[in-house]
């Protein structure tokens, strides 16, 4: 274990990605500054898509600045303390004593105890499961994507890729009045979750859609999935690309009927509030809404595995392996996370 020399304060442990495929736990001293609170972590979430790229050193050099997590330490490619899905209890907040004892979400890396600006803490309402609340960052991505898409009541909506973000998009889309939502994925085990959200489910072989969707979301991070998404889109429909591929090129099948059907292929990324909301919505307002949207217990089905923080370095190679089974993984911090 490597010691990080920081100003005196309370001791914590943090996860650092140190070289391709290797992570370890390092000690840190945590000293809250002015305008900050001290938070004891209960749970954090492992963002499989993004953290797989970080863990394997596949963040493109051109994206080092944009990929940085808000309270990250170190620099890409290594060593770097990364993560952005932490839920904990406020232990001390001299400038906001009413927060002490309250559960909060924060965009902070995996760490047992941390200091964060008060403005970065989002309160969990009474009764919201702290374990489920680690999905807030992914819900925020899904919410922003729905805004980017322009989807509305009554639309035919197809979601290709039933990973965590794809299923959260389907969950939100299925709540639109009269919307007809279909989730397409290779893994039939995702069927029950999609259907519990009010969406249909199909494998690519089963789908064979007529190409009449008003809006299509692509979240499979595979060229084959993008092909299915483009084929699902109706005349002049919008295809929203949510996959994050990292380094390397991806085949985009833009031949065939792509031009004659006048399709729009757009990116959606949570680093900016969707243009349709940007004049009125701040990042804080969007994140608070994402946390609020996690009140539905059906969303617990998206958490498929749990690992103790102390075991995280040894567990990461399997959790972040290509094709790893399951959806969201949560990290448990001691007895407090129970």
Q: What percent of the chain has pLDDT over 70?
A: 96
State residue 338's pLDDT score: 41
Q: Please indicate, yes or no, whether residues 31 and 120 belong to a single structural domain of this protein.
A: yes
pLDDT in tens, 229-245: 999 999 999 999 999 87
State residue 3's pLDDT score: 42
Q: Please indicate, yes or no, whether residues 308 and 199 belong to a single structural domain of this protein.
A: no
Element (DSSP H or E) covering residue 72: none
State residue 2's pLDDT score: 43
Any domain includes 305? yes
Q: What percent of the chain has pLDDT over 90?
A: 88
Any domain includes 176? yes
For 152-171, letters b (16+ CB in 10 Å) and e give eeebbbbbbbbbbbbbbbbb
CA distance 212 to 280: 33
Any domain includes 314? yes
Q: What's the total number of domains in the chain?
A: 2
Q: Do residues 31 and 16 touch, judged by C-beta distance below 8 A?
A: no
Q: Please indicate, yes or no, whether residues 58 and 160 belong to a single structural domain of this protein.
A: no
Q: Please indicate, yes or no, whether residues 72 and 106 belong to a single structural domain of this protein.
A: yes
State residue 165's pLDDT score: 97
pLDDT in tens, 161-220: 999 999 999 999 999 999 999 999 999 999 999 999 999 999 999 998 679 999 999 999
Say which CATH number the domain at 114 has: 3.90.180.10
Q: Please indicate, yes or no, whether residues 115 and 103 belong to a single structural domain of this protein.
A: yes
Q: Please indicate, yes or no, whether residues 183 and 203 belong to a single structural domain of this protein.
A: yes
Q: Please indicate, yes or no, whether residues 221 and 162 belong to a single structural domain of this protein.
A: yes
Any domain includes 284? no
Q: Is the pLDDT of residue 332 over 80?
A: yes
Any domain includes 213? yes
pLDDT in tens, 4-30: 333 347 999 999 999 999 999 999 999
Any domain includes 291? no
pTM: 0.94
Q: Please state, rounded to an integer, the average pLDDT across all residues of the chain.
A: 94
- Residue 335: pLDDT band with limits 50, 70, 90: low
Any domain includes 21? yes
CA distance 134 to 132: 5
Q: Please indicate, yes or no, whether residues 15 and 56 belong to a single structural domain of this protein.
A: yes
Say which CATH number the domain at 219 has: 3.40.50.720
Find the domain containing 244 and state its range: 138-267
Q: Please indicate, yes or no, whether residues 165 and 230 belong to a single structural domain of this protein.
A: yes
Q: Is the pLDDT of residue 89 over 60?
A: yes
pLDDT in tens, 236-287: 999 999 998 776 688 888 988 899 999 999 999 999 999 999 999 999 999 9
Q: Is the pLDDT of residue 93 over 90?
A: yes
Phi and psi at 330, nearest 5°, equal -105, 150
Any domain includes 81? yes
Residues 210-213: contacts with CB under 8 Å, at least 24 apart: 211/257, 211/261, 212/156, 213/156, 213/157, 213/158, 213/182, 213/237
Q: Please indicate, yes or no, whether residues 229 and 333 belong to a single structural domain of this protein.
A: no
Q: Please indicate, yes or no, whether residues 205 and 301 belong to a single structural domain of this protein.
A: no
Q: Please indicate, yes or no, whether residues 323 and 226 belong to a single structural domain of this protein.
A: no
């Amino acid at each position: 274990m490597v010691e990080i020399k920081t100003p005196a304060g309370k001791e914590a442990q943090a996860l650092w990605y140190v070289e391709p495929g290797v992570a370890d736990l390092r000690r840190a001293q945590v000293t809250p500054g002015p305008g900050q609170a001290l938070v004891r972590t209960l749970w954090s979430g492992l963002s499989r898509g993004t953290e797989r790229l970080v863990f394997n050193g596949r963040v493109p050099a051109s994206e080092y600045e944009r990929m940085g997590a808000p309270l990250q330490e170190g620099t890409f490619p290594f060593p770097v303390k990364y993560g952005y899905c932490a839920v904990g209890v406020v232990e001390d907040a001299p400038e906001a004593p009413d927060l002490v004892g309250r559960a909060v979400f924060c965009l902070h890396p995996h760490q047992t105890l941390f200091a964060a600006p008060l403005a970065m803490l989002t309160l969990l309402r009474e009764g919201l499961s702290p374990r489920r609340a680690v999905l807030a960052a992914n819900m925020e991505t899904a919410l922003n994507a729905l805004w980017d898409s322009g989807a509305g009541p009554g639309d035919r909506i197809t979601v290709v890729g039933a990973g965590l973000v794809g299923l959260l998009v389907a969950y939100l889309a299925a709540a639109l009045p009269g919307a007809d939502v279909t989730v397409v994925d290779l893994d039939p085990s995702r069927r029950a979750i999609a259907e519990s959200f009010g969406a249909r489910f199909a494998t690519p072989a089963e789908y064979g859609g007529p190409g009449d969707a008003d809006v299509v979301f692509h979240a499979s991070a595979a060229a084959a999935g993008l092909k299915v998404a483009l084929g699902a889109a109706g005349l002049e429909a919008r295809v929203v690309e949510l996959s994050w591929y990292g380094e390397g090129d991806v085949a985009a099948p833009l031949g065939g009927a792509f031009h004659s059907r006048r399709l729009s292929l757009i990116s959606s990324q949570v680093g900016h509030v969707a243009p349709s909301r940007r004049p009125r919505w701040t990042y804080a307002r969007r994140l608070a809404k994402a946390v609020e949207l996690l009140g539905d217990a059906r969303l617990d089905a998206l958490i498929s595995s749990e690992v103790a923080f102390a075991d995280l370095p040894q567990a990461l190679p399997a959790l972040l392996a290509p094709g790893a089974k399951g959806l969201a993984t949560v990290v448990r911090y001691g007895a407090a996370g129970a």
